[in-house]
Amino acid sequence: MTSLYNFKGITVVPSAKELKEIVLSKTQRKTPTVVHRQYAISRIRSFYARKIKFLQQTLHDKLSQIINEFPKTEEVHPFYSDLMNILYDKDHYKIALGQVNTNRHLVAQIAREYVRLMKYSDSLYRCKLLKRAALGRMVKLLKRQNSSFEYLEQVRQHLSRLPSIDPNTRTLILCGFPNVGKSSLMNSLSRADVEVQPYAFTTKSLYVGHFDYRYLRWQIIDTPGILDQPLEQRNTIEMQAVTALAHLKATVLFVMDVSEQCDHTIEEQINLFESIRPLFANKPVFVGLNKVDIVRRGEIATEKQALLEQLEKKDIPVCELSTVSKEGVITLRDKACDALMAQRVQRKLQSKGYDNNIISRLYVAVPEPRDDKVRAPFIPPGALVKRTDRAALKENKNVERMECDMPQKFVIPEIWEGHNISDFLREDIEELFADLSKEERERIEAGVYDKDLDSDDEETKKLLRRALVIREKEELAKQEFRIKKGTDQPKVARKIGQKRTRTMENFEHAMSQLGVDISSKKMKNLESDSSHPIRGKRIRVGRSQSLVGNTALPRDVQGVPDIETYDKAKKSKRKGQRPMQQDARKGEGDHHVFDMKPKHLFSGKRGLGKTTRHVLEREDVVMISLILDDIDAVKGKAVEKLLIKLSLELDINLWNQKNMYEFESTGDSYLDMLVDNPDDDERIKIKNGIKGSVGDSEKIFMTVFRRSK
Amino acid sequence: MRLEKCYFCSSTVYPGHGVTFVRNDSTVFKFCRSKCHKLFKKKRNPRKIRWTKASRRLRGKELVNDKTQLIESRRDVPVKVSPELVQKTIEIIKQVHEIKHKRYAHLIEQNNVLEKML
């Protein structure tokens, strides 16, 4: 039953376009796609008929799903049907669903028609055309209904967001003018967090909150505020509140604002109450006077108080409460819940349809007293005392708690500047510190901490001072060098660069530093010389230097309109030079590598890897020593030639050919061979002998020995 | 929360830093950073690694057995803590700190003088 009141499970209603895509692609995927014109005509017909029927079936399924999943207003609780009527307009809703239904029929009709026509087609082409026509017509129907689909989708979205109110369970409804404090009351009573704002109509729809009371779950419904208008003039928002009041069997909490901060006087509020009184027909009603923290009931005008008393006379309990200070909220809630419980229980007991009439089935058996002896239950005296004490405590509920300050917790700091304070905590720290400070005082008095100013004699002091000056100068020179290095000024030829530094000012400065005073008068020539502008190339026109002809402006000045662009051009020219300069390349074609095999990459121990690998090729070496009878006879080139020949024939590498026959003896030879003379036969023997005993992979190392006579 | 001392270099290990190593014989070693940890694993002797406090103490560069240091020593004696005691202690700590640094500075100067003479 609860599923009826939870509309979150409705599947999404696709728009007409989407539905068309879905349905057509499904038809294409799920039916056979291949047909040839040489097939039997019946086969072709059934192929295309299948497609038409498949589309019809799919559309039928999808549309039926929509129709079935949307709630029928007749089948849901009248509260929901009324709510839906207010929100979505029942007529529109019904019409939309009805149109979807008719679409279903129409689609079925079209499919039937075209399948019948298919019988009379005699070629693949005709069948195909029929199928196209059928599918097209079926899908076009959908397009016409696009507005219904969109409307239904909107309805579905809104429905899924409706609060799930169970109309049959225990409920409290809050009603009243806008801004009286219904939402704040709801927030304080339940776990809901409804928006509370100072403007009216903050709550625009119904909200549900839940709370527990007496081990049962209760719903509390917050409604938008109702204004005092006749029913016809009410807007959608107010109508939701009215619907809730009308259909739900619940306790009504009419919230009034005593302080009149909601812009309505108490009279107006009571008028509203009277006007919606008919809605409270069989419901327990409570009036809550909210915002009592601002104005108490006793402080309002007597006429208003009289009105409230009138209400009370009609058996409607009026309670004061304040959502801000929380007073009276819980009492009101308890009262309201109790009243509703009583009513519900009554109703359940009275209803005949209530099959589980437990009362009729309950029977409490009481033993018949056989004599007048009193047989009271035994309660041990200790428990009895406790019981009476507890009862007495319960009675003294008015005992006020004394307001006393909570004792300040003493927080021990743990750390001070990198030291643990707990290391210092000891009982006798004062004594220790007294000791220490005494010792320190003695040390100060003894002059331990006095600076030894007379330790250095005059010479060393001078030396130290000069050293300081030297150090400072060195620092400055370092910094200057760094600055100089860091410029991207173009590197100027030394001649010109030197000339730039050799100015009068620099000279004067340097001399004054050394203690020599010079004046410009004495250095007349230097001054005139330094006042010339320094140019890279001197253009000499004519005979004397003084006759300077019309020097054409240099091209870099000529080609540029103004100084700013000239500066920019200079800058970009210099910047362009930079990458080449930094790479230390002369130009683009300069690919010279200064260090092809940097040592640090080609030397050192291996990081990961076995030590068995040597830097050179891995070849095992076998030493064969040729012991020659008379080395003098076979000396020099001849031996070399022999060895080379041998190596070629045996297909071995000779290691260090040059020094081989220079060895006198080695002593670690694997094989000894006797070679008397380099004869062919002997050579062959040697060859076979070597090959027989030595494997192919081994490198054969040859040494030549002189046989000792 | 306690500030520990690194086993290797004797610098303070703040919470959230370093590694604690517990050996099978349940001796605990705390390291302030992986440098000390790795050297320990290499079985280096901290007294021979010049930048550690242990080596410096051995060479006479640090205050050793000074009264100021004796006040700051961790003992296993339970202390009855009261707010007054803590206040007193904090003030004393600050003054002890001052004295310790004065003495340390004096030691450094003495060392400098010695170097100069050499």
- The H or E element spanning position A672 is strand A671-675
Contacting residues of B for A418, CB less than 8 Å apart: 3, 12
A222 contact partners, CB below 8 Å, separation of at least 6: A174, A182, A183, A186, A192, A194, A203, A206, A207, A208, A209
**Residue that the structure tokens 């030595």 belong to:** A694
Q: Which residue has the higher pLDDT, A18 or A529?
A: A18
> Residue B62 half-sphere exposure, CB side, CA atoms within 13 Å?
14
Is the torsion defined by CA of A177, A183, A184, A186 positive or negative? positive
Interface of B with A in 7-26 (CB under 8 A): 12
Angle at A450 between CA A445 and CA A451, to 5 degrees: 175
> What confidence score (pLDDT) does residue A695 get?
42
Contacting residues of A for B113, CB less than 8 Å apart: 452, 455
Supply the DSSP symbol for A133.
H
Confidence of residue A357 (pLDDT cuts 50, 70, 90): low
CB contact under 8 A, A422 and B90: no
| Residues A489-539: tens digit of each pLDDT | 667 777 777 777 777 788 888 888 888 777 766 666 766 666 666 555 554
* Chain B nearest-CA residue for A424: B72
Q: Rounded to an integer, what distance in angstroms lies between the CA atom of residue A666 and that of residue A670?
A: 11
Q: Are A24 and A55 in contact (CB under 8 A)?
A: yes
Q: Rounded to an integer, what distance in angstroms lies between the CA atom of residue A535 and that of residue A127?
A: 97
Contacting residues of A for B17, CB less than 8 Å apart: none
Angle at B111 between CA B105 and CA B113, to 5 degrees: 105
CB contact under 8 A, A421 and B72: no
Mean pLDDT within A125-141: 93
Mean pLDDT within A676-704: 48
> What confidence score (pLDDT) does residue B27 get?
94
Contacting residues of B for A413, CB less than 8 Å apart: 86, 90
Q: Rounded to an integer, what distance in angstroms lies between the CA atom of residue A237 and that of residue A114?
A: 50
CB contact under 8 A, B74 and A410: no
Confidence of residue A707 (pLDDT cuts 50, 70, 90): very low
Contacting residues of B for A447, CB less than 8 Å apart: none
> What confidence score (pLDDT) does residue A709 get?
41
- The H or E element spanning position A257 is strand A251-257
Q: Which residues pair with A173 in a beta bridge?
A: A221, A252
This complex has an ipTM of 0.91
Q: Are A342 and A200 in contact (CB under 8 A)?
A: no
> What confidence score (pLDDT) does residue A529 get?
64
Interface test with A, best of B4, B12, B86 (most A CBs within 10 A): B86
Count A/B contacts: CB-CB distance under 8 Å: 76
Using CB atoms within 10 A of its CB, is residue B8 exposed (0-12), middle (13-18) or buried (19+)?
Answer: buried
pLDDT surpassing 70 at residue A548: no
pLDDT surpassing 90 at residue A671: no
CA-based nearest distance B16→chain A, Å: 14
> What confidence score (pLDDT) does residue A677 get?
42
The verdict on A372 touching B (C-beta cutoff 8 Å) is no
Q: Rounded to an integer, what distance in angstroms lies between the CA atom of residue A693 and that of residue B102?
A: 85
CB contact under 8 A, A432 and B70: yes
Q: Calculate Rg over the CA atoms of chain B.
A: 18
pLDDT surpassing 90 at residue A243: no
Q: Would you report the helix, strand and coil content of chain A in percent, each value rounded to 5?
A: 50, 10, 40
CA-based nearest distance B12→chain A, Å: 7
Q: Are A152 and A13 in contact (CB under 8 A)?
A: yes
Interface of A with B in 443-462 (CB under 8 A): 448-449, 452, 455
Mean pLDDT within A658-679: 39
Interface of B with A in 43-82 (CB under 8 A): 67-68, 70-75, 77, 79-81
Confidence of residue A152 (pLDDT cuts 50, 70, 90): very high
Amino acid in the structure at residue A288: G
What global pTM score does this model have? Answer: 0.45
Q: Are A250 and A221 in contact (CB under 8 A)?
A: yes
Q: Which residue has the higher pLDDT, A297 or A129?
A: A129
Mean per-residue pLDDT of chain B: 92
Contacting residues of B for A417, CB less than 8 Å apart: 97
Of the candidates B17, B16, B19, B39, which has an alpha carbon nearest to the alpha carbon of residue B28? B19
Q: Are A210 and A193 in contact (CB under 8 A)?
A: no
Of the candidates A51, A58, A57, which has an alpha carbon nearest to the alpha carbon of residue A19? A58
pLDDT surpassing 50 at residue A706: no
Confidence of residue A669 (pLDDT cuts 50, 70, 90): very low
Of the candidates A306, A248, A246, which has an alpha carbon nearest to the alpha carbon of residue A278? A246
The verdict on B88 touching A (C-beta cutoff 8 Å) is yes
Q: Are A202 and A181 in contact (CB under 8 A)?
A: no
CB contact under 8 A, A426 and B90: no
CA-based nearest distance B74→chain A, Å: 5
Q: Which residues pair with A52 in a beta bridge?
A: none
> What confidence score (pLDDT) does residue A29 get?
93
> What confidence score (pLDDT) does residue A302 get?
86
CB contact under 8 A, A433 and B71: yes
Q: Are A304 and A267 in contact (CB under 8 A)?
A: yes
**DSSP H stretches of helix in A119-193:** 124-144, 146-160, 182-189
Mean pLDDT within A586-606: 83
| Residues B34-61: tens digit of each pLDDT | 999 999 999 999 999 999 999 999 999 9
**Residue that the structure tokens 């703040």 belong to:** B14
Q: Which residue has the higher pLDDT, A77 or A683?
A: A77
CB contact under 8 A, A433 and B81: no
Q: Are A294 and A259 in contact (CB under 8 A)?
A: yes
Q: Are B31 and B18 in contact (CB under 8 A)?
A: yes
Mean pLDDT within A330-356: 82
* Chain B nearest-CA residue for A431: B71
Q: Rounded to an integer, what distance in angstroms lies between the CA atom of residue B74 and that of residue B53?
A: 18
Q: Are A664 and A628 in contact (CB under 8 A)?
A: no
* Chain A nearest-CA residue for B109: A451
CB contact under 8 A, A423 and B73: yes
Mean pLDDT within A387-393: 81
> What confidence score (pLDDT) does residue A592 get?
87
The verdict on A413 touching B (C-beta cutoff 8 Å) is yes
Show the tokens assigned to A2.
Answer: 């609860």
Contacting residues of B for A454, CB less than 8 Å apart: none
Mean per-residue pLDDT of chain A: 80
The verdict on A408 touching B (C-beta cutoff 8 Å) is no
> What confidence score (pLDDT) does residue A708 get?
44
CA-based nearest distance A437→chain B, Å: 9
> What confidence score (pLDDT) does residue B62 get?
94
pLDDT surpassing 60 at residue A395: yes
Interface test with A, best of B89, B97, B106, B109 (most A CBs within 10 A): B89
> What confidence score (pLDDT) does residue A657 get?
42
| Residues A609-651: tens digit of each pLDDT | 655 544 443 344 445 555 554 444 445 556 566 666 666 665 5
Interface test with A, best of B12, B71, B113 (most A CBs within 10 A): B71
Mean pLDDT within A460-489: 87
**Which stretch of A131-140, A170-179, B17-26, B28-37 has the lowest confidence by average pLDDT?**
A170-179
Q: Are A668 and A705 in contact (CB under 8 A)?
A: no
Confidence of residue A151 (pLDDT cuts 50, 70, 90): very high
Dmax over Cα atoms in chain A, in whole Å? 163
CA-based nearest distance B73→chain A, Å: 5
Most confident of A62-66, A204-208, A272-276: A62-66
Q: Rounded to an integer, what distance in angstroms lies between the CA atom of residue A706 and that of residue B19?
A: 69
> What confidence score (pLDDT) does residue A636 get?
55
CB contact under 8 A, B81 and A425: yes
Q: Are B32 and B9 in contact (CB under 8 A)?
A: yes
CB contact under 8 A, A421 and B93: yes
Contacting residues of A for B83, CB less than 8 Å apart: 410
> What confidence score (pLDDT) does residue A661 get?
41
CA-based nearest distance A410→chain B, Å: 7
Confidence of residue A294 (pLDDT cuts 50, 70, 90): confident
- Which among B1, B85, B92 is the nearest to A433, CB-wise? B92
Interface test with B, best of A429, A452, A453 (most B CBs within 10 A): A429
The verdict on B118 touching A (C-beta cutoff 8 Å) is no
Q: Which residues pair with A675 in a beta bridge?
A: A628
> What confidence score (pLDDT) does residue B114 get?
81
